[in-house]
Structure 1
Amino acid sequence: MTEIANVASADVALQLDRASSAQERFRIMYEVLRDRICMLVYAPGTQLGEEALAAEFGVSRSPLRKVLQNLEADGLLLSQQGIGTLVTDIDVDELEQVYQLRMELNELTGRLAPASIDARLRALFEEMHKRSEALRGEPARESFARLNIDFFHAFQQLTENQPLKEVSERLFYQTCRIWLKMIPSMTLENEVDIFCREIEEICSAVALGDVLAAAMIRKAHLSMGFTRLRSHRQGP
């Protein structure tokens, strides 16, 4: 994940103008729109207009349409004839099998071509830990969601198996916005505390160079997180 998704619209247009290839321009637009969907900038049900987005990014509608088609293939958008392109809704029960697969893929992170823990990776996870402590001191929905996304991409660097990383990324983005959707009905401070403890435990494993331990911790927390989501969804 690049930092492109965090920049303002004017900066996105500038990034696209400076892109060296059509493939890079596609990646920029794809990541920006995916990020907006998963941060609920575009809430479920939002209609995305090709003309408005093309004008914002300073591109023609043809390459933008390809980006929207890929986001639809990812399950984040739905094109309906006579209506347009809509952001899809998210439901815990419908995502159960996705969560189950994500749990297994997390474990594989520690088994398939695990990365060698070097100074760069240790520094990256130490930065994640610092950010988690800042979030714990000042809980906020948007900061929680942002750290959730950024920590996922940090965790992805613990494996060098590219197919595993690609599948994991697609499934992550199918599920990650459910937290923002449901946190208003949950206890934000409690969820932040649980997430920060997960980051702390994983960072400790990374500091020791134990990728498998980090992967198993991630798997366990994902399982517990899904159980909490279902519990809140079903009510007392």
Structure 2
Amino acid sequence: RDIREGLRYVAGQPTIRTVIAALSTLSLGLAIMNTYWAYYLLAVLKVSPTAFGVIMGVGGAGSLAGALLAPKIASRIGIGPTIIVGFAVSPLTQVPLLLAGPGLRWQTTLALVLAVQLFWATASGTSQRSLRQTICDPRFQGRMQAAGTTMTAGVRPLGAAAAGALVLHLGVHTTLAIGAVVQLVPVALLLLSPVRTMRDMPAPPPRTALPSAREGAS
């Protein structure tokens, strides 16, 4: 019963519903790409294991910077634009990967692009999570987060399976391109949602009575 009530609440809250739908679609597109991302770099682009580690390390540094600067970015350009830019950067940063060839110059480009992607992904992720927690009724905080995690994580095995099927018929490069195109869908969802016009963090909902101990424990 509690799960059903939580899902009904998420489905009925326009902003939370849209953000979770966008996250799930982005997760699907990334899952399609990530299934063969390392293989593509190592086997097709001939990136050495050392260079691969450097690329990942540079990307991690970008993610750390995004986490540290997320509040300042949201304060400067607005919470909604921060979220949307983070989603929009993801498919754009896949273009260099699809155009890349072997060589140090491309490896440097991919490292920098990954840093940019993870910078904005982390800044956007921090912002959208804060937004969802702020506007969510306190009674449904845990169930809202559980619904989001279930949907975003639940599509990843489907994305991996889809990637395997696509590679069999279309090849790795085309499969990566399809994963990048899927990542455009969440950008459209957010642009058509109330998130687009948000500059400041909305006021939290009025405090209502918390659920009983029995309900909270169930």
Q: Which TM-score tier does this pair reach, normalised by the shorter chain?
A: 0.3 to 0.5
State the TM-score, normalizing by the size of structure 1: 0.35
Q: TM-score, normalised by structure 2?
A: 0.38
Q: Which has the higher contact order (CA 8 A, sep 6+)?
A: 2
* Larger radius of gyration between Structure 1 and Structure 2: 2
> Which of the pair is proportionally richer in helix?
2
